[in-house]
A and B are shown apart, each in its own frame.
Chain A
Amino acid sequence: MNRLQKGASALLAAVSALGMAAPALADGHALDLSGETVEWIIPFSETGGSARWANFYAPLLSEALPGNPTVVVTFMPGAGSTRGANHFQEQSYEDGTLIFGSSGSTQFPYLLNDPRVRYEYGDWNVVLASGTGGVSYLPPDLAAELEEGGVDALLDDNFIYGSQGATRLDLVPLLAWEMLGLNVEPVFGIEGRGDGRLMFERGEANIDYQTSSSFLSGVTPLVEAGTAVPWFSFGSVDADGNLVRDPTFPDMPSFAEVCEAAPSCETSGPAWDAWVAFFTAGFPAQKMVFLPAGAPQAAIDTYSAAFQAITERDDFAEISATRLGVYPQLTGPAAGTALQSATAVPEEAQSFVIDWLAERYGVVLQ
């Protein structure tokens, strides 16, 4: 651990000397958190993916912040994460000992004008944006049909999908399958994506998706055993904003390719634009860390530098591969750009999805 600590501080020093990411560290106003306790609010329960993400970063953050404060993850679940986010909105910056971790489930209600949302992303200061991806997969018999006759062969099938709710991240796969013309009936009331996978394994659901890290740990063994076949990944957004193959799954076609190839699906028009907008909002910057409103630049820089130091650790690739997958962990200006694209969808996309939810699932958000 000591060696790592030294490595991290050497990195920090190097970074600040170059004056690239943390110019503020060079002057005397930098935050020093010696003896402090940093509270990291996660608006979910101890049991979710955000908890795993925060538990991964918390000890590293403690090492990387100047003064090595204790970092405590506080769980504040409720109302699909809007309760914790509303709570954070009411806080103002004091001494840099309060941060907040949001997720796609915090972004979507915000984008869909959910009545419970009383928070405004524009007020907060982003210091880290973690991306992820997703993979859709099928049971072997349907995969064989697909292999033979293309997407058209699947149009007559009845699909069952275990879903957590149409307004959650599930919106992205549900819309994707619908655009392909599949007849997918979501069975709601699933408590987590793991339960959805179990439903698939039991043969009750015959289509499913998992985010990248759960796909790697939970579905890859099924693929090896021959009981599941990956179909497509949602893809990934490259530096120029293009949709490309997911770097974690370079051998898998992206949704854009699958849609392009399917006669029933179009990679243009309102549905496609809406899908791209919500995918970009939900996945490439799925989990973000914020400082509250009114944080001074010095504090933002301190945290950005700390997260940057973590992501530049020699062993980061190794320790993060199974926990987070191979996705960009963005800090500094890149995180700001990610936040922009994650919290702003074109009005047409927004109204398309709101209409689609109302028409297809009877979900009325007001």
Chain B
Amino acid sequence: MELFASALPVLGEAFGMILDPTVLGYLVLGVVMGLCIGVFPGLGGIAGLSLLLPFMFGMEPLYGLALMVGMVAVVPTSDTFASVLMGIPGSSASQATVLDGFPLAKKGQAARALSAAFSSSLFGGLLGATFLTFFILAARPIVLAFQTPELLMVTIFGLSMVGILAGRVAVKGIVAACLGLLVGTIGEGAASGELRMATYDLPYLVDGFKLVIVGLAIFAVPEIIALLRQDKAIADRQVLSGGWMTGVKDWWANKWLSVRCSLIGVAIGVIPGLGGSVVDWIAYGHAVQTSKDKSQFGSGDIRGVVGPESSNNAKEGGGLVPTLLFGIPGSGSMAIFISGVALLGTGQIEVGPSMVNNNLNFTYAIVWLLAMANVVGTLICIFAAGGIARLTNIRFALLAPFLFMIIAFAAFQSRQSIWDLVALFGIGMLGIMMRRFDWSRPAFLIGFVLSAPAERYTNQAVQIASSRFRRSLEEGLDYIFSPIVIVLIIVTLISVIFGLRQAKNIQAEGDVSSGGKRAPLLFLLAVTAYIAIAYTDASMIPDFARTDRVFPVFVGTIGLIGCALLLIQMRLKPEVDPLFADREVEDRGINAFGLWPTLAWFGGLLVLTSLVGFILALAVFLLTFTRFRAGQSWQYSVLYTIAGIAFICGMAWTLNRDFPPGLLQSLVELPWPLT
């Protein structure tokens, strides 16, 4: 209390600093830029902040901070547009929003879902800032109490959300999570540098896949393909007008859920190392667990939007704690933020342990700039929501090429290699199949996201614990079973038991009817084969590098047991069992186009890109797609193509990015953007 009394005048000083009109001007500028970038799926704070960095050198510190904080704060707000309207996770913060937001958009309630999401975001952001104002003074010892065993338990708690999101057949969900975990281990092991499912001849695989690509491939690609095959608009009815007030009321009706999820967001954001990438799933899981009627989750329950959206803006506030107090970035965008802060002024603000003692006024200014950016960003978004929601009434065939262009561009930012596009396409195929046979895609993604931390913390905890045990048994036990660990174990157990008991009622991705046995069996065999190969590959890692072997072998074993169980069940159960869910059967009536011809368009874009580079391939793709698939006139198609190319070039030019080159570019020198 005394501590806070002494901080109060500083808080007042901070408000004096940020209420300066020029500072507010910079903040609004940052917010608008952040909204523009956040709207595009896959482009988040990293792209935006990199854009600002060159201007930060020697800039008046407060103005620079306002600009950067404004931009970072609103990315998790505006990325909701893509999640709700298109079913594309705008960034890792909005993955869970897709599950219920997109079905709402399909029902013509996009504006309602959006405004509920924005209200929740705003509230989460403000609550997060308020909480931080007090917490930041006492945060250091609390954050330091989270040692490796605690971090491991938080990771396992995150993984336990698979239990809720596993879908109707729990074993399928678990196998999907194992598959995600295994895909996450691809590349160089963190502990000994051994390769798993990779080779030095294909350097791309050595570094493993990036979340941006996996997220887009697993959620966006299948959705785009599915909508395209049905050849109509996203919403199956007219968009409700004035829906945005309903959304605000929805948020108000669930305000306590919003409070709890905001606190979850801050709390997990505070812990360095997890980067908050699972916050939205945990919040979603919490929303499901605490609701009485769970039947609507996955097919458009507004609580499935309020929960994750309350948590993801609060998380940004929480993420400031490790960033400002320890100089350890909680996420990629925070890392650039640190670099940007060091460029400001004469570099007098040094992010790190001295921040609270020497620069408490700046610390508070940052916290409350973040809160104000949330307010400004949300207001802009809510007013835009009604209009933008009408996008869902456009015929999808006209939207899809544009979306695909953006997704391909975003994926390419991951590593600036043509293999980014191959990975997007390849994992996209997996996503399409998982969607078709009703394998839980959220479970897969949670596995993928948590794979690296789960392995890293397990190895480190084991190593440190054994060193402690060598000193004394007591010291070892104290280290492993700290009070925080015990609490987390209890919470995890409760969550798993609850989850498994209710998983059958929760259809995270809607209802799917069952069909023949053959197709689901073939897919299961393919999954089994991959897990078996990954298992064999990992088990061949020699003994001296066993730290890189243990985790994939362990996960592989569980996965194979799951696969075996499924195979036995498939043998025994009739073909109407949920085990044989097959969306092809369900959607037979509404699909206007086959899967393969639709995929061929995108495969064609990929092949053409590898030959003549992205821009030329894109021009051909846009032109022919609009003309032949969407059936527009030549005139229309040419205009559409020109607009598309101009747009993507403008974006790349602003962000200083290049496009994937092809074979042609290795033979002939071409001017930008054809390079």
Given known pairs A47-B332, A78-B415, A194-B326, the reply for A185 and B544 (CB within 8 Å) is: no
Q: Which of these binds chain B: A48-56, A251-259, A291-299, A335-343?
A: A48-56
A47 and B335 contact, Cβ closer than 8 Å, known pairs A72-B656, A187-B464, A218-B327: yes
Asked whether A51 and B339 contact (CB < 8 A) given A116-B200, A165-B193, A222-B353, the answer is yes
Which residues of chain A from 156 to 197 have a CB within 8 Å of any chain B CB?
A: 158, 160, 162, 165, 167, 185, 187-189, 192, 194-195, 197
**CA separation between A56 and B200, bound complex, in Å?**
33
Stretch at the interface among A22-30, A240-248, A316-324: A316-324
Q: Is the CB of B326 within 8 A of A198?
A: yes
CB-CB under 8 A from A1, the residues of chain B are 58
**B147's contact among A45, A86, A202, A362, by CB below 8 Å, is which?**
A202
A190-B643 Cα distance, complex, nearest whole Å: 46
Q: Is the CB–CB distance between B544 and A362 below 8 Å?
A: yes
- A56-B58 Cα distance, complex, nearest whole Å: 10
A334 at interface, CB cutoff 8 A: no
Inter-subunit contact A83/B203 (CB<8 Å): yes
A221 close to B (CB within 8 Å)? yes
Q: Are A116 and B147 in contact (CB under 8 A)?
A: no
Contact indicator B147/A47 (Cβ below 8 Å) = no
Q: Are B53 and A189 in contact (CB under 8 A)?
A: no
Q: Decide yes or no: A319 and B192 within 8 Å by CB, A47-B329, A116-B203, A198-B328 being known contacts.
A: no
* Contact across chains for A52 and B463 when beta carbons are under 8 A apart: no
The listed residue (B207, B326, B339) touching A77 by CB distance below 8 A is B207
B41-66 interface mask toward A, CB cutoff 8 Å, 1 = contact, 0 = none?
00000100010011001100000000
Chain A nearest CB: distance from B449 CB in Å? 15
Q: How large is the interface on B (under 10, 10 to 19, 20 to 34, 35 or more residues)?
A: 35 or more
Min CB distance A169 to B, Å, is 15
The answer to whether A273 has its CB under 8 Å from any CB of chain B is no
CA distance A107 to B434 in the complex (A): 44
Q: Smallest Cβ distance from B341 to chain A, in angstroms?
A: 11
The CA of A51 and the CA of B273, in the complex, are separated in Å by 20
Give the distance in Å from the alpha carbon of A328 to the alpha carbon of B200 in the complex.
Answer: 36
**Interface flag for A67 (CB, 8 Å):** no
Q: Is A250's CB within 8 Å of the partner chain B?
A: no
The reply to whether A52 and B147 form a contact with Cβ atoms under 8 Å apart is: no
B467 touches A46 (CB 8 A): no
Given contacts A72-B656, A202-B147, contact A322 B342 (CB under 8 A): yes
CB pair B273–A189 under 8 Å, yes or no, is no
Q: Are A221 and B147 in contact (CB under 8 A)?
A: no
Question: Would you call B347 and A363 a contact (CB within 8 A)?
Answer: no
Contacts of B326 in A (CB 8 A): 194, 197-198, 201
**Mask: chain B, 351-377; 1 = CB below 8 Å from A; 0 = not:** 111100100000000000000000000
Residue B206 at the chain A interface, CB threshold 8 Å: yes
| Shortest Cβ distance from B546 into A: residue | A362
Assess whether A189 is in contact with B346, with CB atoms less than 8 Å apart.
Answer: no
Which of B50, B191, B332, B544 has a CB less than 8 Å from the CB of A188? B191
Q: How far is the CB of B638 from chain A (nearest CB, A)?
A: 31
Complex contacts, A194 vs chain B, CB 8 Å: 326-329
Judged by a CB distance under 8 angstroms, whether B304 is at the interface is no
Is B545 an interface residue, CB under 8 A from the partner?
Answer: yes
CB contact under 8 A between A160 and B203, given known A46-B335, A217-B350, A221-B353: no
- Does B667 touch A at the CB level, under 8 Å? no
Query: Is A204 in contact with chain B by the CB < 8 A criterion?
Result: yes
* B313-331 vs A, Cβ < 8 Å mask (1 yes, 0 no): 0000000000000111100
B619 contacts chain A at the CB level, 8 A cutoff: no
Q: Give the residue name and chain of the B residue nearest to A58 (CB).
A: B54
C-alpha spacing A194/B204, complex, angstroms: 26
Task: Tell me which of A47, A77, A318, A322 has the highest count of chain B C-beta atoms within 10 A of its own C-beta.
Answer: A47
Known: A47-B332, A51-B339, A188-B192. A217 touches B464 (CB 8 A): no
Identity of the chain A residue whose Cβ is nearest the Cβ of B345 in the assembled complex: A319
Residues of A within 8 A of B547 (CB): 188
Q: Which of A67-115 contact B (CB under 8 A)?
A: 72, 74, 76-79, 83, 86, 115
Q: In the assembled complex, which residues on chain B have CB atoms less than 8 Å from the CB atom of A158? A: 467, 470-471
Q: Is B343 at the interface (CB under 8 A from chain A)?
A: yes
Any chain A CB within 8 A of the CB of B562? no
Q: How far is the CA of A363 from the CA of B53 in the complex (A)?
A: 39
Q: How far is the CB of A86 from chain B (nearest CB, A)?
A: 8
Bound-complex Cα distance A165 to B50 (A): 28
At the interface, yes or no: A203 with Cβ under 8 Å from chain B?
A: yes
Output the nearest chain A residue to B542 by Cβ-Cβ distance.
A362
In Å, the complex CA distance between A72 and B332 comes to 19
Q: Is residue A59 contacting chain B, with contact meaning CB distance below 8 A? A: yes
Q: Does B583 contact A (CB under 8 A)?
A: no
- With A55-B53, A187-B464 already in contact, the answer to whether A46 and B147 are too (CB < 8 A) is no
Give A318's nearest chain B residue, CB to CB. Answer: B346
Q: Smallest CB–CB gap between B286 and chain A, Å?
A: 27
Select one of A55, A185, A189, A195 contacting B459, CB under 8 A: A189
Q: Which residues from 307 to 363 on chain A have a C-beta closer than 8 Å to any C-beta of chain B?
A: 318-319, 321-323, 361-363
| Complex Cα gap A333–B574 (Å) | 80
A residues near B352, Cβ cutoff 8 Å: 217-218, 221
Residues of A within 8 A of B192 (CB): 188, 361-363
Chain B residues contacting A322 (CB-CB under 8 Å) are 342, 347, 350
Distance, CA A130 to CA B127, complexed state (A): 45
B45 to chain A, nearest CB (A): 11
Residue ID in chain A nearest B348 by CB atoms: A322
> B193 and A319: CB pair below 8 A?
no
Q: For B188, what are the chain A residues with a Cβ–Cβ distance below 8 Å?
A: 79
Chain B residues closer than 8 Å to A225, beta-carbon distance: 353
Complex Cα–Cα for A72 and B459 (A):
39
Interface string of B162-195 (1 = CB under 8 A from A): 0000000000000000000000000010111100
Question: With a CB–CB cut-off of 8 A, which chain B residues contact A79?
Answer: 188, 203, 206-207
Contacting residues, chain B, for A198 (C-beta < 8 A): 272, 326, 328
CB-CB under 8 A from B328, the residues of chain A are: 192, 194-195, 198
B96 interface residue, CB < 8 Å from A? no
Asked whether B336 is an interface residue with its Cβ less than 8 Å from the other chain, the reply is yes
CB of B469 to closest CB in A, whole Å:
11
- Whether the Cβ atoms of B467 and A185 lie closer than 8 Å is yes
Q: With A194-B326, A319-B346 as given contacts, are A363 and B193 in contact (CB-CB < 8 Å)?
A: yes
Nearest-Cβ distance from residue B476 to partner chain A, whole angstroms: 12
Chain A residues with Cβ under 8 A from B329's Cβ?
47, 194
Q: How far apart are the CA atoms of A158 and B343 in the complex, in Å?
A: 40
Q: Write the chain A residue with the least CB distance to B47.
A: A46
Is B456 within 8 A of A189, CB to CB?
yes
Chain B residues within an 8 Å CB radius of A361: 192, 544
In the complex the two chains form, is B336's CB within 8 Å of A46's CB?
yes
Q: In the bound complex, what is the Cα–Cα distance between A60 and B459 (angstroms)?
A: 43
A319 touches B347 (CB 8 A): yes
Q: Across the interface, which residues of B come within 8 angstroms of A362, CB to CB? A: 192, 542, 544-545
Of the candidates B332, B339, B353, B455, which one forms a contact with A52 in the assembled complex, judged by CB atoms under 8 Å apart? Answer: B339
Question: B203: which of A59, A78, A199, A201 is its contact (CB, 8 Å)?
Answer: A78
Q: Which residue of B lies closest to A90 (CB)?
A: B666
Residue on A nearest B151 in the bound complex, by CB: A202
Chain A nearest CB from B548 CB (Å) reads: 9
From B144, B357, B459, A202 is in contact (CB under 8 Å) with: B144
The answer to whether A217 touches B459, judged by C-beta atoms less than 8 angstroms apart, is: no
The smallest C-beta distance from A201 to any residue of chain B, in angstroms, reads 6
Given the complex, which residues of A lie within 8 Å of B456, measured CB to CB?
A: 189
Complex: A58 Cα to B342 Cα, angstroms: 14
Q: Could you list some 15 contacts between A and B, CB below 8 A?
A: A52-B339, A52-B342, A58-B54, A60-B57, A115-B200, A116-B200, A158-B471, A162-B460, A194-B328, A197-B326, A203-B147, A204-B464, A218-B327, A225-B353, A361-B192
- Given pairs A52-B339, A222-B353, 6 additional interface contacts (CB within 8 A): A46-B336, A47-B339, A79-B203, A189-B460, A194-B327, A220-B354
Q: Chain A: residues with CB nearer than 8 A to chain B? A: 1, 45-47, 51-52, 55-56, 58-60, 72, 74, 76-79, 83, 86, 115-116, 158, 160, 162, 165, 167, 185, 187-189, 192, 194-195, 197-199, 201-204, 217-218, 220-222, 225, 318-319, 321-323, 361-363
